[in-house]
Amino acid sequence: MATMEGLIGLVNRIQRACTVLGDYGGDSALPTLWESLPSVAVVGGQSSGKSSVLESIVGRDFLPRGSGIVTRRPLVLQLHKTEQGMQEYAEFLHMEKKRFTDFSVIRKEIQDETDRITGRSKQISHVPIHLSIYSPNVVNLTLIDLPGLTKVAVEGQPESIVQDIENMVRSFIEKPNCIILAITPANQDIATSDAIRIARQVDPAGERTFGVLTKLDLMDKGTNALDVLEGRSYRLQHPWVGIVNRSQVDINKNVDMIAARRREREFFSSSPDYGNLASKMGSEYLAKLLSKHLESVIKARIPGIASLINKSIGELEAELDYLGRPVAIDAGAQLYTILELCRAFDRIFKEHLDGGRPGGDRIFAVFDHQLPVALKRLPFDRHLSLQNVRKVVSEADGYQPHLIAPEQGYRRLIDSSLNYFRGPSEASVDAVHFILKEIVRRSIAETQELKRFPTLQAELAAAANEALERFREDSKKTTLRLVDMESSYLTVDFFRKLPQQVEKVGGNPSAASDDRYAEGHFHRIGSNVSSYVGMVSETLKNSIPKAVVHCQVREAKRSLLNDFYIQLGKKEGRQLAQLLGENPEVMERRQQCAKRLELYKSARDEIDSVSWS
Ligand SMILES: Nc1nc2c(ncn2[C@@H]2O[C@H](COP(=O)(O)OP(=O)(O)OP(=O)(O)O)[C@@H](O)[C@H]2O)c(=O)[nH]1
């Protein structure tokens, strides 16, 4: 007994989960759990007594009545047996918190909920309504009430509705896991039964069809339904069950269900025709028969369901891994998460610099190629041309030309030449800066863990770029200082080693040879300065990279996020949570997956516990 409740309860839970998750079976391209679950679908023509059968299985009046097509959405009716003496109540899946104890209110809610989806247009919809009834007077069973098959559309319903209903009913009962409860009124020729007609289409061997014959009390005097009930008219693998529901008069007179069940029992036990079948007739017997059959079908299906659930769990877990686990809620854990993410970024950033990922090689290219080329291109030829040397030296001398060597002229020429080195050194700093910035951008993009946190990504990028900016300033100061140092103190040795030439000034009377002498003199000054500048250029070619690496690359590796960490430490829980703000779509999807996963896991546990007992 416990097993049976477990089995049907299990299927009930999975069915509800399916509806919550939008799995109604049918045309969805996704694999569906719904379709693998055994269920009992009630089919029959209009007024065949479908509602009456369902109500008498439940033992309560609760289905909407009226003319025309009343049932316009599938009603998944899950019956749960409770302990004797417990109060009966019902719950709808679409308003989970609310317990209904008044069954006329349930009827009203079924109507209202039907209209909510279909509108008042009287259209039909595939989306099921789930109703659970908890009662000591039911057996565990899940029934699906479907719209009655009709031949003509009525009162403003579109002509297509006849076909729509037929299609919807077929879509439910053609699933191999569907048990068909085919309702046929006894006062109608079985050959014209809508229920049998459609059941035969999808289950020709009658393996999963239960034939139910209603209105046995309405048969003409002197006739009986034994040919049908004993399987001679239309053969099914399961025995036919005869039913006597309340007549319209009974309903009008408010004959209650308990009295109706009693009268039904009496009808069979006192009937000369059906007396010896009495124990296998009536709605109570039908309910038990279905429950038992459903249980055996579920038992047979369990391995299949279990493997489907396991497969879905695997898929969901993979998706959750991809989406990332949910973010912690307490500030400490959030801070930890952020630090972990920063570390992941930092690791990738360093790989770009140290090798393994591209980037470091581009920095070397700056030192190895860009800087030497830029140094070579400096316009010293023009600056140290004869004309310019003459001009600078003369200006430096003033009214009293130099007597031995133009000390001031040399200084000015050298100073102004060294000034040219500022350009390439600043350019090297900038080039490396942009490479580092690009590496930061790429590292953020390549940090898989960061993908889901756009806010943190932006903050991290801003903090890193700010730090790089600081390193750039520092690096500029340092490299320019190297240049400045070159002009603050000249290498004395260089000048000492120059070939000494005693120059006589103004000793020659000839103006022409005077000129030639002066030309050679300035030429020598120019070429001396030029070779001094060349020597400095060689020095800077080596020392600028050292300064740049020291100030920018090494600092980036060492302390790129230091300031960010300090800022983080000052943040409160709310601000940390903001940093970990995610793309709402991702959050939504994760929530869905997590919820589904939880349900599937509990279904799996349920299955495990059932199959052990
Ligand atoms: N006398 C008698 N009347 C019955 C029996 N079964 C159903 N009826 C009556 O037949 C009418 C139609 O029954 P329902 O249970 O509403 O039939 P249905 O198939 O649900 O009808 P729709 O929902 O309109 O398609 C009602 O007036 C019932 O009282 C029965 O076994 N005996």
CB 560 within 8 A of CB 467: yes
With pLDDT > 70 as the criterion, what percentage of the chain qualifies? 90
Q: Is the per-residue pLDDT at 268 higher than 80?
A: yes
- d(CA 414, CA 432) in angstroms, rounded, equals 28
Distances (CA, A) of 590 to 33, 316, 323, 338: 20, 9, 7, 19
To the nearest 5 percent, what fractions of the chain are helix, strand and coil?
Answer: 60, 10, 30
How does residue 513 score in pLDDT terms, banded at 50, 70 and 90? low
- Which residue, by CA, sits nearest to atom 9 of ligand 1? 247
Does ligand 1 lie within 6 Å of residue 148's CB atom? Answer: yes
| Residue 479 lies inside a defined structural domain of this protein | yes
| Residue 398 lies inside a defined structural domain of this protein | yes
Q: Is the per-residue pLDDT at 516 higher than 90?
A: no
Q: Among all chains, which residue has been given the structure tokens 């408010």?
A: 254
Q: What is the pLDDT of residue 223?
A: 87
Q: Among all chains, which residue has been given the structure tokens 């559309």?
A: 153
Pocket test for ligand 1, best of 149, 157, 212, 247 (most atoms within 8 A of CB): 247
How does residue 506 score in pLDDT terms, banded at 50, 70 and 90? very low
Q: Residue 307: CA atoms inside 13 Å, Cβ hemisphere, count?
A: 4
C-alpha 84 to ligand 1 mean position (Å): 30
Q: Which two tokens stand for residue 573?
A: 């829980």
Q: What is the pLDDT of residue 86?
A: 87
How does residue 1 score in pLDDT terms, banded at 50, 70 and 90? very low
Q: Which long-range contacts (CB under 8 A, 24 or more apart) does 323-332 make?
A: 323/452, 323/586, 323/589, 323/590, 323/593, 324/449, 324/451, 324/452, 324/586, 324/590, 326/590, 326/594, 327/577, 327/580, 327/582, 329/577, 330/573, 331/572, 331/573, 331/576
Q: Is the per-residue pLDDT at 111 higher than 80?
A: yes
Look over the chain and give the mean of its residue pLDDT values, rounded to a whole number.
85
> How crowded is residue 266: how many other Cβ atoms within 10 Å of its Cβ?
12
ipTM of the complex in this document = 0.97
Q: Cα 532 to chain center, whole Å?
A: 67
pLDDT in tens, 384-408: 999 999 999 988 888 888 877 888 8
Q: Which range marks the domain in which residue 446 is found?
A: 331-497+517-581
Element (H, E) at 90: strand 89-92
Query: In a 3-state reduction of DSSP, which class is residue 102?
Result: coil
Q: What residues contact residue 299 under an 8 Å CB cut-off, 6+ apart? A: 7
Mean pLDDT (whole number) for 416-443: 96
Q: Is the per-residue pLDDT at 504 higher than 50?
A: no
Indicate the range of 96-105, 172-181, 582-591 predicted with least confidence. Answer: 582-591
Q: Count structural domains, the chain.
A: 1
Q: Is the per-residue pLDDT at 118 higher than 60?
A: yes
Q: What is the pLDDT of residue 505?
A: 47
Q: What residues contact residue 566 under an 8 Å CB cut-off, 6+ apart? A: none
- d(CA 257, CA 53) in angstroms, rounded, equals 11
C-alpha 111 to ligand 1 mean position (Å): 18
Does ligand 1 lie within 6 Å of residue 476's CB atom? Answer: no
Q: Is the per-residue pLDDT at 496 higher than 50?
A: yes
CB 338 within 8 A of CB 456: yes
pLDDT in tens, 212-229: 999 999 988 888 888 999
Indicate the range of 48-57, 151-160, 362-371, 539-548 predicted with least confidence. Answer: 151-160
288: left (phi over 0), alpha (psi -120 to 50) or beta: alpha
| Residue 222 lies inside a defined structural domain of this protein | no
Q: What is the pLDDT of residue 554?
A: 95
Q: What is the pLDDT of residue 84?
A: 84
Identify the sign of the CA torsion 440, 445, 451, 453: positive
Most confident option among 98-102, 126-130, 152-156: 98-102
pLDDT in tens, 286-324: 988 988 888 888 888 888 888 888 888 898 888 888 887
For 88-112, give one letter per residue: b (16+ CB within 10 A) or e.
bbbbbbbeeeeebeebeebbebbbe
Q: Which long-range contacts (CB under 8 A, 24 or more apart) does 272-279 make?
A: 273/224, 273/226, 274/216, 274/224, 274/226, 274/229, 274/242, 277/229, 277/242
Q: What is the pLDDT of residue 515?
A: 66
**What does 187-203 look like in DSSP terms, one character per residue?**
TS-GGG-HHHHHHHHH-
Q: What is the pLDDT of residue 155?
A: 66
Q: Which two tokens stand for residue 239?
A: 């025995």
C-alpha 252 to ligand 1 mean position (Å): 12
Instruction: State which ligand 1 atom lies nearest to the alpha carbon of 216.
Output: 31
CB 225 within 8 A of CB 219: yes
pLDDT in tens, 19-52: 666 565 544 434 566 667 788 899 999 889 998 8
pLDDT in tens, 571-581: 887 888 888 88
How does residue 460 score in pLDDT terms, banded at 50, 70 and 90? very high
Q: What is the pLDDT of residue 464?
A: 95
Mean pLDDT (whole number) for 56-85: 82
| Residue 430 lies inside a defined structural domain of this protein | yes
- d(CA 149, CA 48) in angstroms, rounded, equals 10
CATH number, domain with residue 336:
1.20.120.1240
C-alpha 283 to ligand 1 mean position (Å): 14
| Residue 207 lies inside a defined structural domain of this protein | no
Does ligand 1 lie within 6 Å of residue 283's CB atom? Answer: no
pLDDT in tens, 166-190: 999 998 899 888 999 999 999 988 8
C-alpha 129 to ligand 1 mean position (Å): 22
Mean pLDDT (whole number) for 444-464: 91
| Residue 568 lies inside a defined structural domain of this protein | yes
